[in-house]
Amino acid sequence: MRLNGKIALITGAAGGIGSVTAKLFAREGALVITSDINEEGCRNVLVEIEESGGKGDMIPADVTRETDIINMFNRVREKYGRLDILANIAGGDFEYNIGVTEISDEKMSYTIDANLKSCIFCCREAAKIMMDQQYGKIVNMASIVYRGSPMQYSYSAAKGGVYAFTRTMALSLGMYNINVNAIGPALIEVDIIRNTIGPEMWEALKADTASRYPLGRVGQPIDVAYCALFLASDEASFITGQLIEVSGGSRL
């Protein structure tokens, strides 16, 4: 098992990508601490992990609140004394499909808080633990929209910030044997998108998008989870500061 005996914390663990990643990490031997603002969803993932013979725990948190983040990492340190892996998966586009003249302070701020500031604060708190133990793997969730995307202004800016911050953290933490990398997914089939735009529009979007991807399909959560697993494992011990696009070749 690739993560045998590791302690892993996954934010956004109740979501489509986060839940699949949490269960995969547990199957690979990690004790997985699930965290999400959705406490019931977080608990459901934990139950699935334990029913499958894995080990887990849960610490619900709202990662747009710095105090929640600090308390979460304090609990990890107090209970386990270490943290080997952090996967920052929490986030989302909360100002989707709007024109540039429609950008609002409220939605822009929340999008940046949920995606960029949460990543920065979680990495800061994880670093305090990982620097002491001289070991750690951090996997941040960016997006291919870090390159820019029409009608996704604040989200693109936030994910571009995640990539820049990932590179900066990698430069700072390499001397402590801490690897910091990011994943840039393209369109991934998750319930939150399907439910937001409706099943009919989702099927049209899915078909159109798949026709433009060289691999002929949109991504699945497991595609992202396997990339996260690799970056969280010691197989990626000489990789840091990188963004790996899980995109079906969509931006070639």
Residue 96 has a pLDDT of 78
Quick one: how far is CA 7 from the chain centroid? 16
**Alpha carbons 200 and 198: distance in angstroms, whole number:** 6
87 pLDDT more than 80? yes
* pLDDT tens digits along 95-143: 877 889 999 999 999 999 999 999 999 999 999 999 999 999 999 999 9
User: Which of the four CATH numbers 1.25.40.10, 3.30.420.40, 3.40.50.720, 3.40.50.2300 does domain 7-187+221-246 have?
Assistant: 3.40.50.720
Residue 194 has a pLDDT of 78
Beta strands in 54-132 (DSSP E): 55-58, 85-88
Name the catalytic one among 155, 163, 176, 213. 155
Angle, helices 66-80 vs 118-133, to 10°: value is: 20
Residue 33 has a pLDDT of 98
Is-catalytic flag, 155? yes
Residue 97 has a pLDDT of 79
197 pLDDT more than 80? no
**Alpha carbons 21 and 7: distance in angstroms, whole number:** 14
Residue 157 has a pLDDT of 95
* pLDDT tens digits along 1-12: 999 999 999 999
* pLDDT tens digits along 146-160: 998 888 999 999 999
pTM of the model: 0.96
pLDDT band at 74 (very low <50, low <70, confident <90, very high): very high
Residue 251 has a pLDDT of 83
For residue 8, which phi and psi values (nearest 5 degrees)?
-125, 135
CB 176 within 8 A of CB 133: no
61 pLDDT more than 80? yes
